[in-house]
Amino acid sequence: MLRRSLDSLPASRIREVANAAMGRDDVLKFWFGEGDLPTPQFIRDAAKAALDEGETFYNHNLGIAELRESIAGYVNRLHRPQVAVDAERIAVTSSGVSALSLVAQSLFEPGDRVAIVTPVWPNVTAQPRIMGADVARVPLSCHAGRWTLDLQRLLDAAPAGTRAVIVNSPNNPTGWVMAQDQWEALLAHCRRHGIWLIADDAYERLVFDGAAHAPGVLARIDPEERFISANTFSKSWTMTGFRLGWVVAPRSFVAGFAKMVEFNTSCAPTFIQRAGIAAIERGDALIAETRARLQASRDALVSQLRQVPGVECAPPQGAMYLFFSVAGHSGDSLGFAKRLVSRVGLGLAPGVAFGPEGEGYVRWCFAAQRHLIDDGVSRLAGYLGSSGGGVEAGAAGRI
């Protein structure tokens, strides 16, 4: 009954695990990509004030002028581009996922080739597939305690005629961060062949090496180049429930994009956009705190898990996730994640949710309070201990 491209998409494997926890209040939920703290008060207050002012009407497809200006100013301060980004190149969207899906709707025709670095948050590969594009998956690999990309493999997967390359860095689920020299080589390749380069920058501020943002090429882009940065307020400013995002794109793309926004959501709510302005104007300290908290949680989680026999993990360089394997257990990641929930109330996301190359791993979102992380590690260790260090039938353990 439904479109064929939809039929071929798997249902969310994370939901499948979450369903196993239905009706239980003793489960530690590390499966979704959000923290356990509500949005800071000053951001909520800005939304409330806008509601009290009666800002409840439709507005411009591309966002209110003040927010577009504010985002352009933020991008220029953060990236110091060679050619300053003006507000005409900014389009506001109702979330980062909406930004990605509108980009896919605006660019992709059936049969287009789109190369994507994987494993990745499933929505990134689903959007082009919904449009009928052919997705070439280019897997990261884990060597010597680090996730790495074989760049040549990515370039080979994106020959002349490819419509787009999509890179999510820092990456969900691995925490891999693409190095500057790889970005430069990829940009040169895309320029040479007229390929759109799409950066999913959702976690660009959540890096753990002291830099203000992850490496990238936004600063080197000419205003009419085939480059798009998709971004969101969700992660940097703890605003997942607000559903607010944006794209930086060529001016000529943005004009057509406005039509796509019209046909989808028409506009992002004005009072939500007011909250976005407050976040950008007054949120620097919040980002610094979030990043410090995440780094401390990452360090605690990694050092504790390394004490657990069989666990193999590469410390993430960014984002908020640890993607790790447990020898003899995580080979069937969906089954393992379900057993962890039902036996010890530990909620992790199965690696296979992020594509076939994620099989053998589970993802732990460490944007959580320290005592919950400690409790989670004890539950994992308890489960592994009580299953006799047991290799479960049929589970091909992988490190």
Ligand X SMILES: Cc1ncc(COP(=O)(O)O)c(C=O)c1O
- The binding site for ligand X (CB under 6 A) comprises 33, 95-97, 121, 168, 172, 200, 202, 232, 234, 240, 245
Nearest-approach distance from CB 54 to ligand X, in angstroms: 26
Burial of 36-50, coded b for 16+ CB within 10 Å and e otherwise, reads eeebbeebeebbeeb
Residues paired with residue 116 on neighbouring β-strands, in sequence order:
137, 166
Nearest-approach distance from CB 172 to ligand X, in angstroms: 4
User: Alpha helices of 108-160 — where are they, by DSSP H?
Assistant: 122-130, 151-156
Q: Which residue's beta carbon is nearest to the bound ligand X?
A: 96
Nearest-approach distance from CB 31 to ligand X, in angstroms: 12
Residues paired with residue 394 on neighbouring β-strands, in sequence order:
none
Nearer of residues 33 and 175 to ligand X, judged by Cβ: 33
Nearer of residues 199 and 344 to ligand X, judged by Cβ: 199
Nearest-approach distance from CB 111 to ligand X, in angstroms: 25
Nearest-approach distance from CB 345 to ligand X, in angstroms: 23
Nearer of residues 105 and 168 to ligand X, judged by Cβ: 168
* Distance (Å, whole) CA 43 – CA 97: 21
Furthest C-alpha separation in the chain: 62
Nearer of residues 102 and 221 to ligand X, judged by Cβ: 102
Helix count (H) and strand count (E) of the chain? 13, 15
Nearest-approach distance from CB 344 to ligand X, in angstroms: 26
Nearer of residues 35 and 397 to ligand X, judged by Cβ: 35
Closest by CA to 169, choosing from 138, 204, 197, is 204
Nearer of residues 202 and 218 to ligand X, judged by Cβ: 202
